[in-house]
Chain A
Amino acid sequence: MNFPKELRYTKSHEWARREGEKVVCGITEYAQKEISDVVFVEVPKRGQAAEQAKAVAVVESVKAAFDIYAPMSGKVSQVNADLESRPELVNQDCYGQGWFFEIEASDPSEWDKLMTAEEYEKNIQNESVK
C-alpha cells in the first residue's frame, strides 16, 4: 500500500499535507480499502471550527457510516465539493482528487503529534495483527 512520505497520519487513518499555514486532509489508502465502496461523503462547512482528533466529516460505504477526524485544529478553509456527486473519488484517488477538506491550522505544533508514514505503516500492521 502507498503512504506518501511527505504526508503525516492519524491513528484513525486520516492523512494531512502541509501547504504553508494550511493543511489538506483526506483518508488513507488503507482506510478507503477497509471501507470499500464509498457511496456518500459529508464534508464540513467552510469556516467551521475543527479540533484535532474530533469528528468533522462522515464517509459512508454501502454498509456503514464512519466518522472522519480532523488531523489538526483550526478553521476549515476549503472543502472538496466534488465528493458530493462523485464519492468514488475517495476510492480512486485518496491522496489526490479524493481529498476531503483543508484546515487553516491554529496550532502548527500539532503537526509533530501526527505519525510519519513509517510510524503509520507500523501502526496498521499492529492493528491488523490484533
Chain B
Amino acid sequence: MSQICRLPLHDTHVRLGARIGAFGSWEVPLYYTSIVQEHEAVRQRAGLFDISHMGEFRVTGNDALGFLQELLPRDVGKMETGQALYMPLLNEDGGIIDDVILYRFEPAHFLLIVNAGNVDKDWSWVESRAAAHKGAAPDFKIQNASADFGLLALQGPGSAAIIEKTLGSTWTDVAYYHFRPFGDGMIARTGYTGEDGFEIMVKKAGLLEMWDRLMAAGRADGLVPAGFGARDTLRLEAGMLLYGHDMEDTTNPLEAGISWAVDLKKASFIGRDALAKQAGKPQAKKLAAFEMIERAIPRQGYELRKGSQTLGHVTSGTFSPTLAKNIGMGYVPPSEAVAGNEIQVVVRQKSIQAKIVKLPFYKRKK
C-alpha cells in the first residue's frame, strides 16, 4: 500500500499541464488550470475526469446472486440487468468497510466498483467471504479486475450531447443509475459531482483513445479536463460522502446518514443484526452539514464546538465555488444535528460561527 501508483494516463495529464498531487497512494492530477475553473466548467458545461484509480471486482456464476445478497445490505435480487445500485459494504458490526456501486450485467454477472484506497482491504474481505461460499457452486467466481480497466467520468450538463457526438445517440437514453456494456467494460449514467454525466469503463489499452475522442468531441462545447480538486468540491456541494473522511470502518450507515442505502427488511446480510439492534436506539453521533456564518474556511480535523463543549470534528470542508460560501460536514451529537442550529468551528484557535444546514448544499435544476 505504501507503493505509489500512477494512473494509466499519467503522461497525458502531465502533458496537459496538470499539477500532480497525492490522493492516498495514488499520484493524480489535482487540477490542470484551476480548481475553481474546472469546478465551474462541470457545473455549467462539462469536465472529463480520469478516475482509473477506482477498483473493479467481478462476481459471476450461479451463486453470484446468493453471495452478494449475503455480502451487501440492499436487495440485489430486485436489480434489473443494466441497473446500478449504490450502497455501503458492511462488516459484522455494521461498520462501513467502503461505499460501492454494484452493476448487474446479467442475471449471474455482477461488477462492484470500489474506492481506490480500499481495493486491498475490500478484496481481502470479499475473498474471505467467498472462500466460505465457494463450496456450493463450481462456476462461482470472483475476480479483481482493478489492474485491467480504466475509468473516465464525463460530468456536467453538456455530457449527454458529448456522449452522443462521440458514440452515437443510443447512449443518451441510458437512465440515471443504469448502464450498458461497452466492449469489455460499460458506460453508466452515474457520477460524483451532482450533475448529469457518464462513467466510462474501458480496458486500459483503449483508455487514451477514449479520452482523446471525448475531448475532441466536447472541446467546442467547453469540455475541459478536470482534476481531483474539483472532484472533491463538486461532490461535497452535492452532499456526497468521501470514504476515509466522512465515514470509516467504525462509522455505521445510520450515523453517516446513508441508511437509505441499507435494507433492514432484508432477512439476512453481513452487519444486519448489529444495525437492527442500533436502529431503534439514539445514535452516538450523526453526520451533519454546516455552512459558515462568519468568514473562515472549515478544514478536515478542525474542532466543532458549542460554547465550551466539543461536539466533534470537521470531516470535509471547503470553499464552495458554486454557492460562494464556506461549507463542511462533521460528526456531532444527534441532538445538535438540527438545521438552523448555530455551532462554532475552531479555526486557528478562534471560534467561528456556523450553522447546521440540510444536505445537499447544491442540487441541480432538472
Contacts and interface: CB of A to CB of B under 8 A. Distances in A.
Interface of A: 36-37, 39-40, 42, 58, 60-65, 84
B35 A62 contact: yes
A84 B299 contact: no
Contacts of B319: 39-40, 60, 62
A64 B302 CA distance: 13
A90 B35 CA distance: 16
Given A36-B34, A39-B297, A62 B19 contact: no
Could you tell me the dominant secondary structure of chain B's interface residues? mixed
Contacts of B34: 36-37
Contacts of A58: 348
Nearest to B319: A39
A37 B297 contact: no
A37 B36 contact: yes
Interface residues of B, number: 18
Contacts of B233: 62
A118 B319 CA distance: 36
B18 to A, nearest CB: 12
A40 B19 CA distance: 21
Contacts of B296: 40, 42
A83 to B, nearest CB: 11
A74 B297 CA distance: 29
B275 interface: no
Interface string B17-42: 00100000000001100111100000
B318 interface: yes
Interface in B289-319: 295-297, 299, 318-319
23 contacts: A36-B31, A36-B35, A37-B34, A37-B35, A37-B37, A39-B36, A39-B319, A39-B321, A40-B295, A40-B326, A42-B295, A58-B348, A60-B319, A61-B35, A62-B35, A62-B229, A62-B318, A62-B319, A63-B35, A63-B229, A64-B299, A65-B297, A84-B295
A40 B348 CA distance: 14
Contacts of B318: 62
Contacts of B30: 63
Contacts of A84: 295
A35 B133 CA distance: 51
A116 B7 CA distance: 41
B246 to A, nearest CB: 17
Given A39-B297, A40-B297, 12 more contacts: A37-B35, A37-B36, A39-B319, A39-B321, A40-B319, A40-B326, A42-B295, A58-B348, A60-B297, A62-B36, A62-B319, A64-B299
A130 to B, nearest CB: 16
Contacts of A64: 299
Contacts of B229: 62-63
A82 B146 CA distance: 49
The list of the 3 closest CB pairs from A to B, nearest first, reads A39-B319, A37-B36, A62-B35
A39 B34 CA distance: 12
A65 B348 CA distance: 10
